[in-house]
Amino acid sequence: MRNAWLIGVAVVFGVSVLAACGRGQPDIVVAATRHDFGRVKQGKVVTTEIPMRNAGKGDLKIEAVSTSCGCTTAQVLPKIIRPGGEGKLLIRYDSGAHPDKGPVQRHIYIASNDPDEVEVEVIITADVQPPAQ
């Protein structure tokens, strides 16, 4: 009787492991990890969209998106990208948020459930020009 119970437990455990392996892992792919806005007049707001996709076999879940400065906002849509599916990273940079002039660099961090790349960094740059007098 005890052997039958152990065999039953082993079978349930084995099926659970195989089911988990069969789901596959997500794989985040961001089309570009750098974007240059070029020359931007101070006070102007510029935006861009960067395509993303899930090249894996499991659902890609975007857990958080953060930036290095309050002058930059970013979000990923949708928050869950199915295997083979696509999404986009929306970035907004407000060059008037600080009195910066000249070259600036900001960072966007995307945290996900991709086990091989739990955080992706995207860098944006701009050359902030003084407003016209």
Q: Where are the domains of the chain?
A: 26-129
Mean pLDDT along residues 77-96: 98
Q: Please state which CATH class domain 26-129 belongs to.
A: mainly beta
Residue 19 three-state SS: helix
pLDDT of residue 93: 98
Residue 99 three-state SS: coil
Per residue in 7-33, pLDDT (tens digit) is: 554 444 544 444 444 469 999 999 999
Angstrom distance (rounded) from CA 121 to CA 101: 24
pTM exceeds 0.85 for this model:
no
Pairing of strands 60-67, 28-30: unpaired
Mean pLDDT along residues 51-69: 98
